[in-house]
Amino acid sequence: MTSILCVDDSEMILQMVSKVLESSGRLVETARDGDEALEKIAAREPALIVLDWEMPRVSGLEVCRAVKGNPFTARIPILMLTGQSDISNKIQGFEAGADDYLGKPSHPLELQARVEALLRLVQRESDRNPSSGLPGARAVRTEIERRVAAGEPFALCYIDLDHFKPFADSFGFDVADRVIEQTGAALCDAILEATQISNISDERRRAERRSAATPKSDRRTTPQTTHFAGHIGGDDFLVITDVQSAENIARACAAEFRKVIARILGDKITKAGHFSGLDREGRSREFPLAGLTTAIVVIDPATWVSTAHIGAFAAEVKRQAKNQNAGVVVQVA
């Protein structure tokens, strides 16, 4: 059971937070000041800390700095509670390492939603693919199951880099690794482009790119509430989105991938549009360059079987698309 530490000098707040979070199956421990909080964190590392800003002796800000300054506890998310609306205080909290803020008094449903969002984020961060920086297979499975439970149809875009093995053999694994790494960022850019996010600053675009690697339900009030990019492994990527956006996102992904290849290989090779390599039988042949194949599977939760079933179905759709050189194929599961 997930353990959450709530730190506040108000007994009423401790009881309210404990009641709300325990109702969703969480184990809640409490501390009434910063010293006690640090002792409990040292004794048993919580999955998340709900931390009051103003407390006697050791303040919430000091606790936050101590937790985030320790490399062994820095990954613990901190939801800061504060009755102060001054923006400078919030900035201080974020600079100290707070991951989110919630004002006092707070609505129980908002408290629960923010805690769940932070816990999901931590789980995905621990499951990121080291090559691309995108969420890995476990996080992908969790996201699919979450959407099925929500009961609304959605689309799964299963993306494969065409002829990647001969590409890696021909250009070397250092180049191949760079392609995989930059493809992760390219998919996030494609989601932004396809959903018509424009006219934002460079700083915000970088922030949007990072957060495009997580389900947008974690960014509750933004327009991008339905998009998730993941990296299953190797040259297999996946985007989960709403049915209406799927084809636009798939085509935007292909366009962004061509930019990745051009950046890494240069204009001369890219303009040639092909490269020489060995096929599966070891014969030398020409392969087209910078291609993606995307199998879009529309999933209706009412007919859901399992992630294994969907995975097998999507793999077969992708195989058919590759055989037809179709680029993008849409099927209903």
137-332 sits in which CATH class? Answer: alpha beta
Residue (of 222, 226, 263) closest to 244 by Cα position: 226
Evaluate if residue 220 carries a pLDDT over 70. Answer: no
Query: How far is 158 from 280, CA to CA, in rounded Å?
Result: 23
Among the residue ranges 143-152, 182-191, 254-263, 270-279, the one predicted with the least confidence is 270-279
* Amino acid 216: pLDDT: 40
Highest mean pLDDT among 75-79, 81-85, 212-216: 75-79
Average pLDDT over residues 124-140: 82
pLDDT digits (tens, 9 = 90+) for 229-253: 999 888 989 999 999 999 999 999 9
Q: Are 103 and 200 in contact (CB under 8 A)?
A: no
Give the rounded percent of residues in the chain with a pLDDT score beyond 90: 43
More confident residue, 263 or 327: 263
Task: Mention every residue, 6+ apart, whose C-beta is less than 8 A from residue 208.
Answer: 188, 192, 197, 200, 224
Q: Which helix (H) or strand (E) holds 119?
A: helix 108-125
Average pLDDT over residues 160-188: 92
Average pLDDT over residues 277-288: 85
Q: Where are the domains of the chain?
A: 3-125, 137-332
* Amino acid 199: pLDDT: 35
Query: How far is 126 from 136, CA to CA, in rounded Å?
Result: 9
* Amino acid 221: pLDDT: 27
* Amino acid 198: pLDDT: 35
Residue (of 85, 62, 64) closest to 73 by Cα position: 64
Mean pLDDT estimate for the chain? 84
* Amino acid 68: pLDDT: 85
**Is residue 201 very low, low, confident or very high in pLDDT (cuts 50, 70, 90)?**
very low
Evaluate if residue 202 carries a pLDDT over 60. Answer: no
| Backbone dihedral angles phi then psi of residue 288, each to the nearest 5 degrees | -70, 150
Evaluate if residue 175 carries a pLDDT over 60. Answer: yes
Evaluate if residue 204 carries a pLDDT over 60. Answer: no
pLDDT digits (tens, 9 = 90+) for 184-196: 999 998 998 887 6
The angle formed by the CA atoms of residues 95, 100 and 102, to the nearest 5 degrees, is: 120
pLDDT digits (tens, 9 = 90+) for 205-219: 445 454 554 444 333
Average pLDDT over residues 50-54: 91
* Amino acid 1: pLDDT: 67
Residue 66 tokens, joined: 């101590």
CA 203 to chain centre: 19
Fold category of 3-125 in CATH: Rossmann fold (3.40.50)
Q: How many other CB atoms are there within 10 angstroms of residue 87's CB atom?
A: 8
pTM: 0.60
